[in-house]
Amino acid sequence: MELTKIRKSLPLREQAYDSLKEAILSGRMQPGQRLTEEGVAEFLGVSRTPAREALGLLVNEGVVNRRESGGYLIPVPSLAKVEEIYEVRRQLEPLAARLAATRISQTELEEFRHAIDAEHEIAYTAETGEFMAANRRFRNLLYAASGNEQLIKCIDCYADHLQFVASLTLIDAATRKIAINCHERVYDALSRNDAGAAEHAVMDQIDAARQAMTAALERDQQTNPIASQRS
């Protein structure tokens, strides 16, 4: 299990929480993985109390589930929950792209270009978490460029769940290629201030991601022995 080591000079519960959540949302800890207070505490180098408190916070957020037989489980998201997330994405993110196309600055365009170049550079070599971070950077730039704070807050409401499900799809090189190609289309539309093209490019990316996610979960349902413990 790969987690960030704890620095004991800072509040331990918060550090344990941040370390666990980052590992889960980055894909370094996989859906379906089982956790124990003892195991988390031992790896992080803390007592069971901050480990238990951190796990409790993650349970409250729905990032981790308690198991009836003891311990914890990183849940595999259900198809129904994924469908709900993508329905919301399809309403909000294309709007962010449309607004960004009408407000984009040259400085922001350069940041988009750097973000896409970074994705190209690591597309076929990076671990899932590293590519997810690059992918997230592009999306965050797009949301910020919309200039609409209320829209950004709405998108942030499901950002953790989006990262969670992305960890199941961006492990695949073909899915990464699709994401980068869509980002290139978004960048081209932004550079021409073409709101309609930017909106459609983001819609296409969301639909492609939805198909990849659905396929991944359907495969998991056939092979995962803990299917009955899904979120």
Residue 228's pLDDT is 40
Residue 43's pLDDT is 80
The band of 220, judged by pLDDT with boundaries at 50, 70 and 90, is low
CA–CA separation, 29 and 15 (whole Å): 17
Whether the predicted pLDDT of 156 surpasses 80? yes
Residue 227's pLDDT is 42
Whether the predicted pLDDT of 26 surpasses 80? no
Q: Across the chain, what does the average pLDDT equal?
A: 87
Is the pTM higher than 0.85?
no
CA–CA separation, 26 and 3 (whole Å): 11
Asked: is 12-73 a CATH 3.90.230.10 domain? The reply is no
Domain 79-229: assigned CATH number:
1.20.120.530
CB 211 within 8 A of CB 168: no
CB 166 within 8 A of CB 77: no
User: Are the folds of 12-73 and 79-229 the same?
Assistant: no
What are the extents of the domains in the chain? Answer: 12-73, 79-229
Whether the predicted pLDDT of 138 surpasses 90? yes
pLDDT digits over 95-136, tens only? 999 999 999 999 999 999 999 999 999 998 878 888 988 999
